[in-house]
Structure 1
Amino acid sequence: MNWKFFSKNNKTQPKVKKSKTREWIDALIFAFVAATIIRGLLFSAYAIPSGSMEGTELTGDYLFVSKFSYGARMPITLFSIPFTEPEMYGAKTYWSGVQLPYFRLPGFTSVKKGDVVVFNKPSETGTPIDQQTTLIKRCQAVSGDTLSIVNAQVYINGKPEPNAPKAQTSYTVITDGQEFNPQIFQDLNITIVNQSAANAYEMIIPVDNLTTLKSYSNIKSITPVVAPAGQRDEEVFPHNPKFKWNIDNFGPLVLPKKGMTIPLNDSTIALYSTAIEQYEHNRLGKTNGGFTLNGQKATTYTFKMNYYWMMGDNRHDSLDSRFWGYVPEDHIIGKAIITWFSTDPNKGIISNIRWNRILRPIR
């Protein structure tokens, strides 16, 4: 029996000391791998580039988005440059030649009404899902719900859906002709959409500041801007003259749900062909007196995914589901949970930090 491992003369080999360069390389590799795992499975940071979610989220807010809440979506585009935008300096940062099927890890919950959700814009067909523009909106309806908008109020399954605490919309403001001090608009976060006359304006006004504006002596009246029922907006989903809908009077529309079966007729084709063809990758056709699905005559269709309805809290300054329709589940990225930093782009470098929004939970 060999007892050499008990021998006092059996000396361990001295460790080779790493060079400073090797230590830095190892540290960078570890940091890259750790950041990739955290960003892919747990959290991602996003910036708010526009005002569609004001006053809940402001332009210049920086968010943490939880990917594990709904379950992390695995990469679809296999080859891309990490931590970059899909396009930089006019060149793509990914190669779409190899794409993996949609797969999501189990999450702690599902998308709920009222959640502030980050997702990929569904109308950008021809681009891999995970390389499409990233948007943030509030979920107004989930799969299986019936959604209607009546005079700018959202109804879900016949009941009014509570508005976001900081929701805002546009108003017609009539004055006595006296000019405003421009500082008023900055202080009250009011945006002038247009001015139709010397004393008539359309303004987007935060609900918290509406009473303050009404108190000014030169204000004669403030009334909400609401597109009347029956007045069709060609830009509004489903872009079909059969449906005379607009952003303030819309629906009813049933959100597709996985396993839900619909009859195929002219109305359902107008409402759901985008989901059937673009999102669930089928081929619809029309024959004498009926429809075909992937070349076979069909009278019904059963959905393969769940779908959601997303709208901005700034109702009259948001391109959302009212324009491009429902959001498929494979476009969902995660739930916005906290504003970790915020800067005001309209102020100087020193004074632009919004200290009251740092580490602020998103509701």
Structure 2
Amino acid sequence: MNLQTILGNFALILFVAMVVTGIIWFLDIFYFAKQRRRAADTALAAFDARNAKLTADGIKVDNTSRAAIEAALLRQPTWIEYSGSFFPVIALVFVLRSFLFEPFKIPSSSMVPTLLVGDLILVNKYTYGIRLPIINKKIIEVNNPQRGDVMVFKYPKDMSQDYIKRVIGVPGDKITYENKRLTVNGKPLAYQPMDDYLDDEHPIYHKQYVENLTGVQHRILNMESKRSIDSSAVDNFPFKEQNCTYSYDKFTCIVPEGNYFMMGDNRDNSLDSRYWGFVPDRNIVGKAVVVWMNLSNPRRIGGIH
């Protein structure tokens, strides 16, 4: 599922804006403001000398304009004033978005019924480690992704795109998917049937189950008319030859070290690790934790399971 942010590379744009406004703010405090102060002092000294001479000549002077002259000379130019006003706001947003929480919007249905089209979600950026913004390099270890987590990551085939899927396999896991059922490390997962799910986008029903992913229960959808996997659509990807075997309606993969196996909850309408491979740790963006708004369905607000 491709997650669209407001702008294509918002983090970079925000960083550049923060640097530019920060430099202007810094220069104003340590250079431009001092220049304005010196200019004001010079003008006021001349003003006072002129008034003193007029007073000595017996001419009455009006000193009320002195404050106005000083205020005018000390006033920040518009471009400096706006930069100084925006800098702390931009810096705060950049820090919050880069290290704490980042918003995303769900544009497609590969994570239905867990996440619906139009859901606005928050992603925890620090739960899987502190990473440098822009380059996404981890500098502090915190936690590792666990099976069942709903995770946002950079699509391995196009790092400019953010995807969201569920973590099915962690490093070392053996994942088998056959007849629309998962087996993890030789243990078949338990599935509890639910009422059929009506697709909001298309007037069709899907088979719905509660899947118990080694202790994490969540809903999934299946379409009886589709195979478990279309092996003809599987791309070549790193570790495929060594770690994966594919047949007509089945595959088995062993997750390599430092990688994760991801699948959408809408199993037969999800382009995921079955087709394009594993997600390296360096691609991780964060853990999806809450739906905070859906403009077409306000009842969607709540945690992500």
Q: If the TM-score is normalised by the length of the shorter chain, which range does it land in?
A: 0.5 to 0.7
| Number of the residue aligned with 1:249 | 250
C-alpha contact (below 8 Å) 2:207/2:224 kept by paired residues:
no
Q: One-letter code of the match for 1:333?
A: V
Out of 279, 283, 298, the residue aligned to residue 355 of structure 1 is 298
Q: One-letter code of the match for 1:311?
A: M
Superposed displacement of residue 105, structure 1: 3.0
Q: One-letter code of the match for 1:140?
A: I
Q: Distance in 2 between matches of 1:160 and 1:361?
A: 27
The alpha-carbon distance between structure 1 residues 20 and 165, as it changes in their structure 2 partners (threshold 3 A), is farther
Q: Distance in 2 between matches of 1:63 and 1:51?
A: 14
1:1-363 residue pairs with structure 2 within 5 A? 21=78, 24-75=82-133, 77=135, 103-124=137-158, 129=159, 132-161=160-189, 189=200, 191=202, 203=204, 205=206, 207=208, 224-225=224-225, 227=227, 233-238=231-236, 243-245=245-247, 249-251=250-252, 253-257=253-257, 306-343=258-295, 352=296, 354-358=297-301, 360-363=302-305
Superposed displacement of residue 29, structure 1: 0.7
Q: Distance in 2 between matches of 1:27 and 1:68?
A: 28
Q: Distance in 2 between matches of 1:323 and 1:167?
A: 29
| Number of the residue aligned with 1:301 | none
Q: Deviations over 1:173-228 (max 9, x none)?
A: xxxxxxxxxxxx6xx63735xxxxxxxxxx452628xxxxxxxxxxxxx9833527
User: Aligned to 2:233, what secondary structure does the other structure show?
Assistant: coil
The alpha-carbon distance between structure 1 residues 114 and 122, as it changes in their structure 2 partners (threshold 3 A), is same
The alpha-carbon distance between structure 1 residues 313 and 204, as it changes in their structure 2 partners (threshold 3 A), is farther
C-alpha contact (below 8 Å) 1:48/1:62 kept by paired residues:
yes
Q: Distance in 1 between matches of 2:299 and 2:81?
A: 40
User: Aligned to 2:299, what secondary structure does the other structure show?
Assistant: helix
Q: Distance in 1 between matches of 2:194 and 2:294?
A: 17
- The sequence identity of aligned pairs, in percent, is 31
C-alpha contact (below 8 Å) 1:51/1:58 kept by paired residues:
yes
Q: One-letter code of the match for 1:234?
A: S
Q: Distance in 2 between matches of 1:65 and 1:165?
A: 30
Q: Distance in 1 between matches of 2:163 and 2:133?
A: 18
Structure 1 residue runs of 5 or longer lacking an equivalent are: 1-12, 78-101, 170-184, 193-202, 209-221, 258-305, 344-351
Q: What is the TM-score with the length of structure 1 in the denominator?
A: 0.52
Superposed displacement of residue 327, structure 1: 0.6
Q: Deviations over 1:128-158 (max 9, x none)?
A: x4xx211000000001111101211111101
The alpha-carbon distance between structure 1 residues 165 and 28, as it changes in their structure 2 partners (threshold 3 A), is farther
User: Aligned to 1:207, what secondary structure does the other structure show?
Assistant: strand
Q: Distance in 2 between matches of 1:76 and 1:33?
A: 15
The alpha-carbon distance between structure 1 residues 62 and 233, as it changes in their structure 2 partners (threshold 3 A), is same
C-alpha contact (below 8 Å) 1:114/1:140 kept by paired residues:
yes
Q: Distance in 2 between matches of 1:122 and 1:136?
A: 12
The alpha-carbon distance between structure 1 residues 232 and 312, as it changes in their structure 2 partners (threshold 3 A), is closer
Q: How many residues align?
A: 219
Q: Give the structure with higher Rg (CA).
A: 2
The alpha-carbon distance between structure 1 residues 20 and 168, as it changes in their structure 2 partners (threshold 3 A), is farther
The alpha-carbon distance between structure 1 residues 33 and 206, as it changes in their structure 2 partners (threshold 3 A), is farther
Q: One-letter code of the match for 2:251?
A: F
More helix by share: 2
User: Aligned to 2:153, what secondary structure does the other structure show?
Assistant: strand
Q: One-letter code of the match for 2:153?
A: F
The alpha-carbon distance between structure 1 residues 331 and 162, as it changes in their structure 2 partners (threshold 3 A), is farther
Structure 2 residue runs of 5 or longer lacking an equivalent are: 1-40, 42-69, 210-221
Q: Distance in 1 between matches of 2:265 and 2:194?
A: 7
The alpha-carbon distance between structure 1 residues 34 and 111, as it changes in their structure 2 partners (threshold 3 A), is same
Superposed displacement of residue 335, structure 1: 0.3
User: Aligned to 1:322, what secondary structure does the other structure show?
Assistant: helix
Superposed displacement of residue 244, structure 1: 3.8
The alpha-carbon distance between structure 1 residues 325 and 164, as it changes in their structure 2 partners (threshold 3 A), is farther
The alpha-carbon distance between structure 1 residues 157 and 168, as it changes in their structure 2 partners (threshold 3 A), is farther
| Number of the residue aligned with 2:38 | none
